[in-house]
A and B are shown apart, each in its own frame.
Chain A
């Protein structure tokens, strides 16, 4: 379906109308909101939990300690307020209308209090705009990849290679330009490849956060577009056993999955907690609206185990996870020449379509990713703490191509990437107006081509060393204003073995720095402003320095450039949130602008005659880029349990040297949704239905001569979800159904690298179930 810009604009303008005409509060639309603060110093208790046990309903406070529970019926409730390190508070409230209550909690132990205030900001980048998917949203999105989950946040889109591979894109940037932290460790899994999806099991985390700023000061290189954080789960501190079972059925791909988690403590050993978790998922060929997407099945399994000890002064933890994935690559996207590509574009349908199957044939990929992490911390004084983390990641990747002579069973790319990372961080308190952290980080990495492929490697063997030091300080001024400033210096050395016999290895050295300044200002209770200006850097990846050869599905020859320097970005982000006092209307907006010097991209550089015909040559080249945009989220309560919401984002990317647009910037997108929260029905609570439509406009700003065809038309998709929860004694059961592309629209997305070959996925319905037992 084509959507033009006028329609988009008029929708944008029309949407707030019903929100203005707010309905009278009716039976079950009461909202309870307020802040959770420290009784002694009035500091916000971020991530405090406010819970109504009788309803099984609650909310987790944000970083400023603000919480909100919607859709309550009039009545008397017992409220429970809890926060790590605090005595839980139980209070009775009578609800007749919207109510604002501020809770003050008293810390259990005086020495703990100081510690927690510092500890409770896992990422002390106050000024960075961030958005998170909480536990409930993640339970409802089970069975999806990390990128598919994150794409629901404004400003995030995804770069796909058919239905089986998706990578997150933040403000138009992806791959090596965004950093992924898994369990607090920078993920190193050959993320440079556009068809290399993150090797992370989303079910191993309870919360996914996206930092939408250039955050190199805290996180080091690559955090140019932003950071994706799969946050670690806190280990239980009580001996009680608890856990969770989840199941999911997936229509499109006729597959399903499940996961199990068990956690507890050790009786008699206070402070010791453990957790084991495992998950698996299998789907067959995906289905587009009109045909099967042959060879797009996937199989995945993951397991993790952790154990940790923590008391008031010391902590130590050990974590191990293993992730395995095998996936098929759309058969029709495997081509051999530009003629084949031209033929695919002209025919409009994939040339290879077979009946549905679970079998995965060449071309396919298998990936195994290990992560081992050991961390320890000690409080040096009441307010100063030293934390050390060491992690090892092993990433084995095999890519199988369609080959002659029975070689299809041999990988044509067989890489092993081993990465050691370590960090030492001192959280320090220099006074009530200056506190923060300083740290040292290091990385040692080796990329190795496992012999036996019979194909000249795409990426040569290399070793990479990296060492950095940073300091990040906070300057709170009263309750409403907090400033932040930071700096980092980092050195990177790369030693590349070009495999040209006896010639010496090629050595590269890069030295970079980053600075950041930010402010968090809350002029009133209903208005919050964040501003941040920060720089970030990224040394070129070995693939950009030394790539050489034919990229099959892209029908192009890629050539690296050994003279490339580091990319340097300066990004400013203004993030504002405002809500009416009664909480009926809430608006969040993010404006961002980034200037990236020496932005590396592929520029056409003539054609080369090969035995498969003539191919265009794309050479990695540096330019100066400017990327600007806005994310918007508006939410209004309409009464009778209805909530309307709009989320939208737009990005504009310019190549300042060529005076042209940047390639592969996401098209403008907007999601409009209507949610209805219903009264409890029998044992079932939290009954919720949501209908939404996603509108993606055609990308009209694209560079000339870089692509084989114009961007595809815009499209509109209809999605819906239903969910409910009930308590079963001490336990909890949640179920839901999620439908996407319900009208089975045939469409192609500009950010799908396989859009030349086939439509995107058609209708899908997923049914999920979660059983949580022994809730802590």
Chain B
């Protein structure tokens, strides 16, 4: 009987060895892992076509989902002006901050931004960049501010979408599919 029990214990010890060894366990605390793919920050930098005026829109939630509420910062653009917009995505929960937009560039074929506005004063005009298949990405885009007024910009990033579906390359999200990585709403003012 005793022999049998010994055998048993040695087998169970062996089985427990499927677990990562103790050293690894001590080095990392499993419960306390960094959120690598977190996007904390969306920055849209608007520059007047041909140079001149700039505007900065941002949506920032440093601690990710939960915790503190996001900080949303709108800006003002000028009546009758065209702008080039550049998007920057960051993970600022780690130091130094992680540039998530470069991951989007690396996997451009699987990503696309979509833009819409309310209020009618500021409108999205066109994409300014393309992936290797000649389909738009949206890290660069062109915008037009018409008459004075206010409203909000919605920026959506879709991942693993169908970029060749009808209308998608013209910025119509209807047939895009995929999953939403970003969906933020930021106010604007045109004067």
Contact = CB atoms under 8 A, between A and B. Distances in A.
B15 A497 contact: no
A609 B69 contact: yes
A372 B42 contact: no
Interface string B31-63: 111111101101000000000000000010100
Interface in A20-56: none
B182 A612 contact: yes
B172 interface: no
B30 A336 contact: no
A113 interface: no
Given A318-B8, A390-B8, A451-B30, A405 B37 contact: yes
A100 interface: no
Interface stretch (A58-66, A117-125, A455-463, A727-735): A455-463
Given A454-B33, A501-B32, A402 B15 contact: no
Contacts of B32: 499-501
B4 A392 contact: no
B15 A394 contact: yes
B36 A407 contact: yes
B79 to A, nearest CB: 30
A457 B30 contact: yes
Given A352-B177, A404-B159, A608-B65, A372 B25 contact: no
Interface centre among B32, B42, B66, B104 (most CB of A within 10 A): B32
A375 to B, nearest CB: 11
Interface in B143-167: 156, 159-160
A450 interface: yes
Contacts of B70: 609-611
Contact of B159 (A320, A336, A454): A336
A525 to B, nearest CB: 47
B132 interface: no
A335 B20 CA distance: 32
Contact of A448 (B30, B40, B42, B69): B30
Given A335-B179, A336-B179, A336-B181, A370 B15 contact: yes
A322 to B, nearest CB: 10
A547 to B, nearest CB: 11
A405 B106 contact: yes
Contacts of B107: 404-405
Interface in A652-699: none
Contacts of B156: 339
A453 interface: yes
B179 A376 contact: no
A183 interface: no
B75 interface: no
Contact of B182 (A457, A608, A611): A611
B61 A611 contact: yes
Contacts, number: 146
A418 B16 contact: yes
Nearest to B102: A405
A407 B183 CA distance: 22
Given A337-B180, A352-B177, A497 B31 contact: yes
Contact of B18 (A390, A396, A407, A457): A396
Give the interface size bracket for A toward B: 35 or more
Interface string A640-659: 00000000000000000000
A539 B23 CA distance: 32
A557 interface: yes
B162 to A, nearest CB: 8
A548 B24 CA distance: 25
A340 B179 contact: yes
A450 B21 CA distance: 10
A498 interface: yes
A403 interface: yes
A608 B68 CA distance: 11
Contacts of B36: 407, 454-455
A370 B25 contact: no
Interface string A492-508: 00000111110000000
A608 B63 CA distance: 13
B12 interface: yes
A128 to B, nearest CB: 32
A405 B179 CA distance: 16
B4 A372 contact: no
A193 interface: no
Contacts of B178: 351
B65 A550 contact: yes
A702 interface: no
Nearest to A392: B12
A500 B32 CA distance: 7
A609 B182 CA distance: 11
A498 B31 CA distance: 6
Contacts of B97: none
Interface in A481-523: 497-501
Nearest to A331: B160
Contact of B66 (A376, A461, A557, A612): A557
Interface string A318-357: 1010000000000000111101100000000001100000
A722 interface: no
Nearest to B70: A609
A407 B35 CA distance: 12
Given A339-B180, A453-B33, A402 B160 contact: yes
A461 B31 CA distance: 6
A396 B20 CA distance: 11
Contacts of B177: 351-352
A404 B30 contact: no
Contact of B31 (A336, A390, A402, A460): A460
A499 B15 CA distance: 26
B1 A376 contact: yes
A455 B12 contact: no
Contacts of A402: 159-160, 179
Interface string B102-132: 0110110000000000000000000000000
A613 interface: yes
A316 interface: yes
Contact of B30 (A374, A392, A499): A499
Given A394-B16, A416-B18, A610-B65, A335 B31 contact: no
Contacts of A557: 65-66
B180 A548 contact: no
Given A374-B5, A392-B15, 18 more contacts: A335-B180, A339-B180, A376-B1, A394-B16, A404-B104, A404-B107, A418-B19, A451-B24, A451-B33, A454-B35, A457-B33, A461-B29, A501-B32, A608-B65, A608-B66, A610-B61, A611-B70, A611-B182
29 contacts: A336-B179, A337-B180, A339-B183, A370-B15, A374-B8, A376-B1, A394-B18, A404-B104, A405-B103, A416-B19, A418-B16, A450-B30, A451-B30, A453-B33, A455-B37, A456-B33, A456-B64, A457-B31, A461-B29, A497-B31, A501-B32, A548-B66, A550-B65, A557-B66, A609-B69, A609-B70, A611-B70, A613-B180, A613-B184
**Top 4 nearest A-B pairs by Cβ distance?**
A499-B31, A449-B30, A499-B32, A454-B36
